Structure 1
Amino acid sequence: MLGWSITFAILAVLAGILGFVGLAGVAASVAKVLFALFLVVLVATFVIRAVRGQSVV
């Protein structure tokens, strides 16, 4: 998921440089959503592992 977020962020930067403003905005929005989803899943995984007594690292 983090890989997809980085991919869309790079796509947004490249589209912005080339002048495709609409595509850059959409790609940046998708990247933000995927990164937020990644963070939620990461924190949930840490909490679940901590509750089970497993190492979170």
Structure 2
Amino acid sequence: MLGWALTFLVIALIAAALGFSGIAGASAGIAQILFVVFLVLFVVAMIARAVRGNPPPM
């Protein structure tokens, strides 16, 4: 999931450098959405692991 977010971020940066504002905006929006989804899933996984009795390694 994080890989997809980074991929769309790179696409947005390249499109912005070349002047394709529509594609850059769309790719940046998709990258932001995927990054937020990744963060939410990460937090949920950490909470689930802590509830099961396996705290994250230090």
Superposed pair shares fold, TM > 0.5: yes
Query: 1:25-36 counterparts in 2 under 5 A?
Result: 25-36=25-36
Structure 2 unaligned spans of 5+: none
Structure 1 unaligned spans of 5+: none
What do you get for the CA RMSD once the two structures are aligned? 0.7
CA distance in 2, matches of 1:12, 1:39: 20
Sequence identity percentage: 47
Count matched residues. 57
Deviations 1:9-41 (A, max 9, x none): 000000000010000000000000000000000
**TM superposition shift of 1:43:** 0.1
Task: Give the TM-score taking structure 1 as reference length.
Answer: 0.96
